[in-house]
Amino acid sequence: MTLQALLVSKDDEAADVLSRILAGFGMAVERFSDSEIALQRLGEQRFDSLIVDFDEPEIARQLLKALPQAKPGALITIALLSDPGAIRQILQDGAKFILHKPVAPEQAEGTLRAATSLLRRERRRSYRVPVQAPVQLSVPGGEQIEGILLDLSQTGMDVLAAQPLAPSALIGLRFTLPDGSVEIDAHGEVAWANSNGQSGVRFIDVPESQAEQLKTWVDANTPDTTAEEAEPVSVCKLTDLSLGGCYVETDGPFPEQALVDLCLRAAGIEIHADGMVRVMHPGSGMGVEFPSRTNEQRETVAHFIEFLTSRPGTVPELLISPKSLIADATQFESTNASPDEHMEDPLLELLRNASSLTREQFLAELHAQRSQEAVPSS
């Protein structure tokens, strides 16, 4: 599967380094120096990634702001940046990854490995399988509307409803696929809608068992060309750990709000835990919060920690893979734990307040929290 990147930069040296690295990850690069021409190309062709040089920050920000009008859908943005002090603002502007200038091949390779890994995962999750099946929609006010399912992915569907739907409306949806293998009864948000009744719906609040059934069905009906698995980050070091979260040093951190899978391997045993990236420090590390909505989720994290601490002298291998660009934030809101439990977790509190701190302030607080005994991992 060839990914497509649009590079907007006047820096020939940076463009050369990035093009060579991206080619190694199976990504084709189209480069422009003029932002207006680049924006026009975004409206003409689907790109998986946009790489923008912030040497001219106002022009770069205008380009990012124009993205939703240029092309709807997921587009992962990477910012080239000379001023480290502008990182937080650029992330707020919509960039998902940061590359420092001048671009060092080693740092660029780690960041771009993470970006392409996430892109492949998103491409597979968003692949839409053509299907025709009746669907029942419940719109605000309780009215029931009949519709026909046109295509289906892990994250949403296209539907032709008996009457137009309202953009951004929250709706109920219920359908069974023709072979009877998947039954979905969930909610969704109308992402776009046409006057003829055709609409795109993004799934929200799908029960876990149904989501797994849907994923299995979509995977089974997805062409082999999209079947590449996400590549884990190759070099990770777990430095801080609590029941609420962890901090990982890596040259290829994933973007804030991304859902990731943390995998520990040691002595022939493998254990996994989900997490949401709360803070990303480009080229150096990321802070990950563990889900805590249910007892089962908390038990998984406790088992993860027990696995790590019960093997003194053993250095587990840590691999991190992306699961989605945006995590379901509701899975990180505890429904059973008392408010005092989280207040007793300084690492979790630090992760949740990281957006108000500079990288230096965050790391200083992180070091202050550490005990004398290091967490063994590599």
Per-residue pLDDT of the chain (378 residues; tens, 9 = 90+): 578 999 999 999 999 999 999 999 989 999 999 988 988 888 788 888 999 999 888 888 888 887 755 444 457 899 999 998 899 889 988 899 999 999 999 889 999 999 999 988 887 777 788 999 999 999 888 889 999 999 998 888 999 999 999 988 999 999 998 788 888 999 999 988 889 999 999 898 888 888 888 888 888 887 764 445 556 666 788 889 888 899 999 999 999 999 999 988 877 788 888 999 999 999 899 999 998 877 887 888 888 888 877 777 777 788 999 988 888 887 787 655 555 444 588 999 999 999 889 999 999 999 998 854 445 555
CATH superfamily of 129-222: predicted glycosyltransferase like domains (2.40.10.220)
Residue intervals in the chain for CATH 2.40.10.220: 129-222
Rounding to the nearest 10 degrees, give the CA dihedral for residues 253, 254, 259, 264: -30
Cβ atoms of 255 and 280 within 8 Å: the answer is: yes
pLDDT at residue number 315? 73
CA distances from 72 to 42, 120, 200, 260, 371 (A): 10, 18, 11, 24, 47
Among the CATH numbers 2.10.70, 2.40.10, 1.10.390, 3.30.460, which is that of 236-369? 2.40.10
pLDDT at residue number 120? 85
User: Per-residue DSSP letters for 66-101?
Assistant: THHHH--S--EEEEEES-GGGHHHHHHTT-SEEEES
User: Per-residue DSSP letters for 113-135?
Assistant: HHHHHHHHHHHHHHPPEEEEEEE
Structure letter (DSSP) for residue 225: G
- Is the CA virtual torsion 193, 198, 203, 205 positive or negative? positive
Alpha-carbon distance of 132 to 148, in angstroms, equals 6
* pTM of the shown model: 0.75
- Reading the block at residue 145, the tokens are 């509307």
Query: How many CA atoms lie within 13 Å of 57's alpha carbon, on the beta-carbon side?
Result: 10
* CB burial readout 313-325, b (16+ within 10 A) else e: eeebebbbbbbbb
Residue intervals in the chain for CATH 3.40.50.2300: 3-126
CATH code of 3-126, in short, is 3.40.50.2300
- Reading the block at residue 27, the tokens are 């990504």
Rounding to the nearest 10 degrees, give the CA dihedral for residues 202, 208, 212, 217: -50
Alpha-carbon distance of 290 to 279, in angstroms, equals 13
